[in-house]
Amino acid sequence: MGGACGYGNLYSQGYGTNTAALSTALFNNGLSCGSCYEIKCGTLHEEGRIRFTINGHSYFNLVLITNVGGAGDVHAVSIKGSRTGWQAMSRNWGQNWQSNTYLNGQSLSFKVTTSDGRTVVSNNVAPAGWSFGQTYGGGQFR
């Protein structure tokens, strides 16, 4: 039930058991795990907000980005704490993006850019009291 391109357990994230559709979409579109699309019953994205799941530890923030609308494939991500400026994140694998900055105790904002060059800024997505293992919702591409 999961692991496709770093998405983890797709069933628990609300995508059902249709992981075959994800694999088919990747193959048919010639995509690698660096540019995964999200699938729910054959659609390329689910309505709603972009989801940011924060994992890792204090000096290694690993953020899984899911439910991306628009073009669907994330090409760049930046993170900003309430006491920092914008900092580019690096792709760890799939749609897991990492930052090695200590951001504990700060509200977090994210800037997500897709392959078509469109950017969505989600300000103060995670409150100052955020915790690892939690998922927070941001804006969405229209």
Question: Lowest-pLDDT range, 9-23, 29-43, 53-67, 82-96?
Answer: 29-43
Model pLDDT for residues 19-40, shown as the tens digit of each residue: 444 544 444 433 444 444 444 3
pLDDT value of residue 4: 53
Residue 4 included in any domain:
no
Residue 114 included in any domain:
yes
Residue 142 included in any domain:
no
pLDDT class of 10 with cuts at 50, 70, 90: low
Residue 13 included in any domain:
no
What is the distance between the alpha carbons of residues 36 and 78, in angstroms, rounded to a whole number? 18
Residue 108 included in any domain:
yes
Q: How many domains does the chain have?
A: 1
- Dihedral, CA of residue 129, residue 133, residue 95 and residue 136, to nearest 10: -40
Residue 46 included in any domain:
no
**Cα–Cα–Cα angle for 39, 22, 98, rounded to 5 degrees:** 80
CA distances (Å), origin 42, targets 3, 4, 79 = 18, 16, 31
Residue 78 included in any domain:
yes
Tell me which residue range forms the domain holding 110.
51-137
Run of H or E including 135 = strand 135-137
pLDDT class of 140 with cuts at 50, 70, 90: confident
What average pLDDT is seen over the chain? Answer: 78
pLDDT value of residue 33: 47
Any long-range contacts for 11-19 (C-beta under 8 Å, 24+ apart)?
A: 13/51, 13/66, 14/40, 14/46, 15/39, 15/40, 15/46, 16/40, 16/41, 18/42
Counting beta carbons within 10 angstroms of the beta carbon of residue 34, is it exposed (0 to 12), middle (13 to 18) or buried (19 or more)?
A: middle
What is the average pLDDT across 84-93? 96
In the predicted structure, residue 73 carries a pLDDT above the cut 80? yes
CATH, residue 104: 2.60.40.760
pLDDT value of residue 7: 54
pLDDT class of 139 with cuts at 50, 70, 90: confident
Residue 96 included in any domain:
yes
Q: Which two tokens stand for residue 90?
A: 């690096």
